[in-house]
């Protein structure tokens, strides 16, 4: 019975992750053509509002995904290990992209920004 609940939470957190992450994806595509700093700041702020849902659902999905193989004894399957490796790769890749691109963009458009887990106040926008 517990495994069914874990599967339910795993699938629900995956759906929640993809839905909440859609805001950031839409922002990425729209941001490429935008030149108005006010609109860029608004898009970056909208994307940032979904980060809590993204992280909570990501953690839930990871915890349930790591718990279930212990309960149903499937660690010998290759796809379990492949999914763990892919999740870690994507997590660190997206962290690097966010750190190197969008946090610096927040700085350049005059919004408060973070760098290496340290918050900085808004600065004068770049020209």
**pLDDT tens digits for range 65-86:** 999 999 999 999 999 999 999 9
The pLDDT of residue 97: 86
The pLDDT of residue 62: 95
The pLDDT of residue 122: 87
| Res. 117: pLDDT tops 90 | no
**pLDDT tens digits for range 9-61:** 999 999 999 999 999 899 989 998 998 999 999 999 998 899 999 999 999 99
Between CA 101 and CA 113 the distance in angstroms is 12
The pLDDT mean for the chain works out to 92
What pTM, to 2 d.p., does this model score? Answer: 0.82
CB count in 10 Å sphere of residue 16: 17
User: Which contacts (CB < 8 Å, 24+ apart) does range 21-25 have?
Assistant: 21/50, 21/54, 23/47, 23/49, 23/50, 24/50, 24/54
């Amino acid at each position: 019975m517990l495994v069914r609940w874990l599967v339910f939470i795993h699938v629900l957190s995956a759906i929640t992750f993809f839905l909440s992450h859609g805001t950031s994806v839409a922002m990425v595509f729209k941001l490429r053509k935008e030149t108005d700093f006010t609109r860029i700041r608004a898009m970056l702020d909208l994307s940032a509002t979904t980060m809590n849902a993204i992280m909570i659902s990501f953690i839930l999905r990871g915890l349930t995904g790591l718990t279930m193989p212990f309960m149903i004894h499937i660690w010998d399957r290759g796809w379990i290990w492949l999914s763990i490796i892919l999740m870690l790769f994507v997590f660190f890749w997206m962290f690097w992209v966010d750190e190197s691109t969008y946090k610096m963009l927040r700085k350049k458009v005059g919004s408060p920004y973070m760098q290496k887990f340290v918050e900085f106040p808004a600065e004068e926008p770049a020209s």
